[in-house]
Amino acid sequence: MPYRNCGRHQDNYPCLIATVDGPKKCTGVLIAPKHVLITSGCLTRNVRWTSIGAQKFNATNDGEKFKVKAMLTHPQSTTYTNDFMVLEMEKASAVTPVALAATDGSDNKAGERAQYLGWRHIQETETTSYSRGEKLQSSEVKILSNEQCATMINIDKSNLCAGGNANEDSCQGSFGSPLIVEKANQDVVVGLTSWIFDCNLSNTPSIFARVAGAREWIESATKSTCFV
């Protein structure tokens, strides 16, 4: 199956999903024509529908919209670990899914640069508080080794750390937003924003749910072998 780049040199990110549950909204990625990968900790009740390729977080008529048929949470999911859920939509999206990170970790090596995509909180001036940006944004962050990250915060192998410098982190409110590594012929999702700290707080990385460690479960959850 071919995969479309998430946002390289583009104004839109077709594989990004705004997952809507009434007034509660989370973010995720399309990983198969009828399946969306999100973080389990973001949703506290049943999801009703998803919006594929939305460009504004609170838009009501933006992108493809599908009803959600089923939800499956990672069997070892906790507040801080294995933070994954797969949504099955009633119909298939016309958007090409994003590729999943390889199980051997080769797609998310320490020191590699990655793109964080999402509706991150922004601060308009030094004296104003943070508010969620309406327009889809991207920022470049550096992936850290778990050993390096563990010197700053307690994590486990199901987590992936990135960022830590001011103005480059995923920032509060962007749970489920993807961390994308750009490869020569495709873009690969290596993590979903799982738990984070105060906006623009230096030397504190963002913590992502590590896709490589959950790939086998994700494939079984979608009953699919089409992942690259």
How confident is the model over 2-48, as pLDDT tens digits?
A: 445 665 545 567 787 777 765 457 889 999 999 999 998 777 667 78
Buried/exposed code over 31-50 (b: 16+ C-beta within 10 A; e: otherwise): bbbbbbbbbbbbbeeebeeb
Beta strands (DSSP E) in the chain are 16-21, 24-32, 35-38, 49-52, 64-73, 85-89, 99-100, 113-118, 121-122, 131-132, 137-144, 159-162, 178-182, 187-195, 206-210
Cα separation values, 41 from 27, 81, 91, 104, 226, Å: 12, 10, 25, 25, 26
What's the pTM? 0.86
Residue 49 pLDDT more than 80? Answer: yes
Of residues 187 and 218, which shows the higher confidence score? Answer: 218
* Domain 16-97+214-221, classified CATH 2.40.10.10, yes or no: yes
Q: 225 versus 164: which is more confidently predicted?
A: 164
DSSP H or E segment with residue 219:
helix 211-222
- What pLDDT score does 191 carry? 96
Q: Residues near 55 by Cβ (< 8 Å), separated by ≥ 6?
A: 12, 62, 63, 135, 136
Dump the DSSP string for 108-164.
S-TT-EEEEEE--EE-SSTTSPPEE-SB-EEEEEEEE-HHHHHTTS---TTEEEE--
Q: Do domains 16-97+214-221 and 100-212 have the same CATH topology?
A: yes
**pLDDT for residue 197:** 67
103-132 pLDDT, tens digit per residue, is 999 999 999 999 888 776 555 545 445 455
Report the C-alpha gap between 57 and 43 in whole angstroms: 16
Domain locations in the chain as residue ranges: 16-97+214-221, 100-212
Is the model's pLDDT at 60 over the cut of 90? no
The region of weakest confidence among 74-88, 130-144, 165-179 is 165-179
What is the predicted pLDDT for the residue at 205?
85
The closest of 122, 32, 105 to 72, measured between CA atoms, is: 32
Q: pLDDT tens for residues 138-160?
A: 788 899 999 999 988 889 999 99
Q: Is the pLDDT of residue 62 over 60?
A: yes
What is the pLDDT at residue 3? 47
Q: How far is CA 119 from CA 7, 58, 168, in A?
A: 14, 10, 13
Cα–Cα distance, 170 to 184 (Å, whole number): 24
User: 10 Å Cβ neighbour count for 200?
Assistant: 16
| Superfamily per CATH, domain 100-212 | Trypsin-like serine proteases (2.40.10.10)
